[in-house]
Amino acid sequence: MSAPAEPERIASSPRPPALSRVPEIGRVPPGSPTQLRLQKIWETEPGWRGWLSTVDHKSIGLRYIVTAFVFLLMGGVEALVMRLQLARPNAALLTPEQYNQLFTMHGVTMIFLYALPVLSGFSNYLWPLILGARDMAFPRLNAFSYWVFLFAGIFLYSSFPFGQGPNAGWFNYVPLSGPEYDTGPNIDVYALGMVLLGISTTVGSVNFIATLARMRAPGMSIDRVPVLVWGTLTASGGNLLAVPAVSLAFLMLWLDRQFGTHFFDVLNGGRPLLWQHMFWMFAHPWVYAVVLPAMGIVSDALPVFCRRPLVGYTPVALATVATMVVGFIVWIHHMFATGIPALGLAFFGSASMVIAIPSAVATFAWVATIYTGRPVFKVPFFYFAGFVLLFVIGGVSGVMTAAVPLDWQLTDTYFVVAHLHYVLLGINVFPVIGGIYYWFPKFTGRMMSERIGKLGFAVLFIGFNVAFFPMHIAGLLGMPRRIYTYPADMGWNTVNLITSLGSFVFALGVLIFLFDLAWSYKRGSAAGDNPWDAPTLEWSIPSPPPPYNFATVPFVGSRHPLWENRLVSERGDKAGSVLDQGYILDHGREALGTTALDGEPHIILKMPGDSYAPFLLGGFSSLVFAGMVVHAWWFTGAMLGASAISVIAWLWPERGLLQREPYPVHEAGDGIG
């Protein structure tokens, strides 16, 4: 382990020519005039005005998490109703149309409205803290991404209460979703809602990439960033390449339905198989987008409870990137039964097996970290260790479907449903809940209950496996996907009853977790600044963090700055206090920009203040799509005009809050964010 960089050495280095002025270096004691000034500069106005206008990444991150969990509960209720329908043969709780809408909205909710947004919430909250920054690169763009996500979720559910919810599956295959078979507004809402949600995902991904490139603490070179950053960065890069494909597909489908184009109409020269290609070019990389940040949570938090650094940081970081790269060349394995030529089957089947290699690298790293460490059996550790087991089960079943002859037998059976839930629910939910237990002290300054947490984990883990493992057996027995009932003599009665009982046990585990969350928020014991003795920068500041995050921008000299700092301090080296002093930036809302690879101080960025513009732009943009659904073109035009006015308000120049005096400074890139 390398020793932390000395601030004197950094301060005396030649000033980069782009740096507009030499920032002060020093300490900011609590209660000092500088600290109070920073508080006033960065804090959000109280009340509803601040709630609508804030651009604080911490508030936005928590909103993402809370909103995603609301959608998780909605999707869970939909799943429980379906399991009641399937618990016994020949049930009549739901009609076929009601079941179609339920399983479609369940899939849409869990995959698009929960799985990635909840991880975006973690990253929004944590990235500036673990990178040593004061905010994301584009704070207003960050707020806009949340509001569009929220309005897109409301938009997607808008037709559901009227019995007109999307009903062609979350994959929305044509021609069943085309105008020939479905003339209602349900598919139109889904198509335009997904385009709207794609806007949120795209702008959020741009923000993450720019933040990593320019907003790291001095000394945090690219090989020192936490693995969570690698996971979210890789997912963001993948989203920028994948989301346009599905957005275009949904737009083309909407044009087919509303204006008589024939992109997917085989009778008029269209190609229904084109839909599957465009959808799975997006949807399979999306699977890794909702898994890689969760893997990053485990890679960063699990070693804390093993009392040692992660084994194989560099291989794990490279495996994270390799997973997404290979993930872009395996989409055809969702289409093995569609008549793909044999050469294509061989290539994509091989690629689907190769992608298991980087996943195995990460798995061996986690197991080696546990084996060579001294595990402390706290609640987060149980969730992370349970995730490793679920990851292996889900990964093995995925490799099985990569074998073309076996995939032909398993396609459209409940075996695929089981695999899907292990890799999207188990591999996502367990790291997320473990991450909440781990970072809850940072969010609130309080600890969650160990006793209730361990009970909740046991119920969740047992319920998950009882609910979803028997689905493998149902699939091997030939039970098809997407059927709303089945005859009593098919041999599926027992496995369906067990699955339904397990789903309610899993729901009970979720309720126990939510009870612990609410109880701890009000009555949890005080956590202190670093209750886990963790090594990363977010634990070097008070809990919950102040509005400005860091009073001084810290200097970083290793991957584990707090552990390194403590070791150096124990040796009596003066450099051990390096995290207590750094650049003081208090001439208004300022942040330090650093070079992309080495993290060298490069530029002082003026950050934008709070604004209603992101909220207004998100709302008006959603109303544009609402007008398109009901064909109110005058209303659509009016909302486009209102959106343009919101953009002008967003970009309108402003003087820096509490700016001492004019000085030359490079403006932040928030002209677009």
> pLDDT value at position 160?
87
Provide the token pair at 306: 């093993």
Non-local CB neighbours of 28 within 8 Å, separated by 6+ positions: 34, 35, 38, 551, 552, 584
Residue 323: closest CA among 238, 394, 396 = 238
Non-local CB neighbours of 77 within 8 Å, separated by 6+ positions: none
Determine the Cα–Cα distance for residues 655 and 587; give it in Å rounded to an integer: 11
pTM strictly above 0.85: yes
Determine the Cα–Cα distance for residues 655 and 379; give it in Å rounded to an integer: 47
Per-residue b or e along 340-349, where b marks 16 or more CB atoms closer than 10 Å to that residue's CB: beeeebeebb
> pLDDT value at position 520?
95
As to burial, measured by CB atoms within 10 angstroms (0-12 exposed, 13-18 middle, 19+ buried), residue 21 is: exposed
Determine the Cα–Cα distance for residues 565 and 578; give it in Å rounded to an integer: 7
What is residue 154's three-state secondary structure?
Answer: helix
Provide the token pair at 643: 């959106």
Determine the Cα–Cα distance for residues 362 and 317; give it in Å rounded to an integer: 9
The tally of CA atoms less than 13 A away on the side-chain side of residue 512 is: 20
Determine the Cα–Cα distance for residues 492 and 88; give it in Å rounded to an integer: 9
> pLDDT value at position 30?
83
Residue 296: closest CA among 214, 416, 371, 208 = 208
Q: How far is CA 546 from CA 42, 135, 220, 654, in A?
A: 9, 12, 22, 24
The side-by-side arrangement of strands in the sheet containing 590-594 is 590-594, 601-606, 666-667
What phi, psi does 80 have (nearest 5°)? -65, -40
Per-residue b or e along 241-259, where b marks 16 or more CB atoms closer than 10 Å to that residue's CB: ebbebbbebbbbbbebbee
> pLDDT value at position 655?
58
Q: Does residue 533 contact residue 304 with C-beta atoms inside 8 Å?
A: yes
Vertex 277: Cα angle to 273 and 279 (nearest 5): 110
Residues of the chain with pLDDT under 70: 1-22, 568-580, 655-673
> pLDDT value at position 77?
97
Determine the Cα–Cα distance for residues 303 and 376; give it in Å rounded to an integer: 10
Separation of CA 619 from chain center: 22
As to burial, measured by CB atoms within 10 angstroms (0-12 exposed, 13-18 middle, 19+ buried), residue 572 is: exposed
Q: Which amino acid is at 535?
A: P
